[in-house]
Structure 1
Amino acid sequence: MSCIFCQINQGALPAHALEVTEHTHAIMDKFPLSPGHIIVLSKTHASTVSALTSDERAALLDAGHRLSGALKKADDRIKDVHFLINDGPKANQHVPHVHLHIIPRYGWDLAKLPYRFMTRFANPLNYLLAEKRLSSWAVKIRNHLPNTM
């Protein structure tokens, strides 16, 4: 079991879980592009969207819809969200396991986004400050979701 997302799905690695369903597992992104960044993991190990069943693909988008609604309720500063799937290594997919990013947009964050994108894995402050922030976000978002865990 070398896939980091499979390890998270199986509980072998810690993550700030938000929602678990039959086909998906939503967690806080450990290296967020903006505050509140969520990742929805497919429970099936598949490297591309086309390798998922139609039910699994639908579940991914349904979870994204639910979670983005909860995210907006958790922080009224969030104006919109990006839904992002990097489908394959040439599309900047770092982990070969299908996952949907839900990236909150605040309206004032456009100038910061390219910097965050370029430094999200390299900036030690992102990691050092992450635990408390992720925990706080997870609680706020879960408060606006139906109980699915």
Structure 2
Amino acid sequence: MSNCIFCQILAGKQPASVVYQDDKAMVLLDLFPVREAHCLVIPRQHAPLLEELEPALSHHLMDLARRTIRAHKRAGLDVRAHNLVVNDGREANQHVPHVHLHIIPRRGGDTLAAAWTWATRMLNVFGLPRRRRRLDRLAGLLAEHFPHS
């Protein structure tokens, strides 16, 4: 869809800090992260709701989430756990109507900071070029440690 930001990213028409991509999906860093190295897994198929995906594609997205978690740990990031979040539908706080899975690294003791950032993260639009450079460097690090399977 031409007005979907994720479809534009997948088509190479918008920038993204890409960690991994294949013929079915892409893993990229969230431009408005809740915690450092917050990634998104997005399918190449445009589908607003999870129920619209074929089971094999849903499984592939979860496998990419698993591999992203391993990349976080292999890259030496201070990560102790992860939240995996799917906001499925507008009423569930889905801002982009294209299925995507959030992989949010957690460090322990960061619940208040994570909650505050989640609530306010899209308000900070200042410094995007500097943020993009930082995310691109982090994407390169994660890509180096992304497991093949």
In the superposition, the TM-score normalised over structure 2's length comes to 0.92
After superposition, the Cα gap between the structure-2 partners of 1:14 and 1:128, relative to the gap in structure 1 and judged at 3 Å, is: closer
Aligned residue for 2:19, secondary structure, equals strand
After superposition, the Cα gap between the structure-2 partners of 1:67 and 1:20, relative to the gap in structure 1 and judged at 3 Å, is: same
Find the counterpart in structure 2 of residue 7 from structure 1: 8
Find the counterpart in structure 1 of residue 52 from structure 2: 51
Find the counterpart in structure 1 of residue 124 from structure 2: 123
Aligned residue for 2:122, secondary structure, equals coil
Q: CA deviation at 1:76?
A: 4.0
List, as ranges, runs of 4+ consecutive aligned residues in structure 1 with deviation greater than 6 Å: none
Gaps of 5+ in 2: none
Find the counterpart in structure 2 of residue 134 from structure 1: 135
| Larger CA deviation: 80-89 vs 105-114 | 105-114
Distance in structure 2 (CA, Å) of the matches to 1:109 and 1:90: 26
Gaps of 5+ in 1: none
Find the counterpart in structure 2 of residue 106 from structure 1: 107
Deviations 1:84-123 (A, max 9, x none): 1101011110000000000000113112112101210112
Amino acid at match of 2:13: A
Q: CA deviation at 1:78?
A: 0.3
Find the counterpart in structure 2 of residue 37 from structure 1: 38
Query: RMSD of aligned C-alpha atoms?
Result: 1.7
Distance in structure 2 (CA, Å) of the matches to 1:18 and 1:76: 15
Distance in structure 2 (CA, Å) of the matches to 1:37 and 1:97: 18
Q: CA deviation at 1:137?
A: 1.3
Amino acid at match of 2:25: T
After superposition, the Cα gap between the structure-2 partners of 1:103 and 1:42, relative to the gap in structure 1 and judged at 3 Å, is: same
Q: Is the 8 A contact 1:120 1:126 kept in 2?
A: no
In the superposition, the TM-score normalised over structure 1's length comes to 0.92
Q: Is the 8 A contact 1:31 1:126 kept in 2?
A: no
Deviations 1:24-72 (A, max 9, x none): 1111100000000000111100001110001110110011001111012
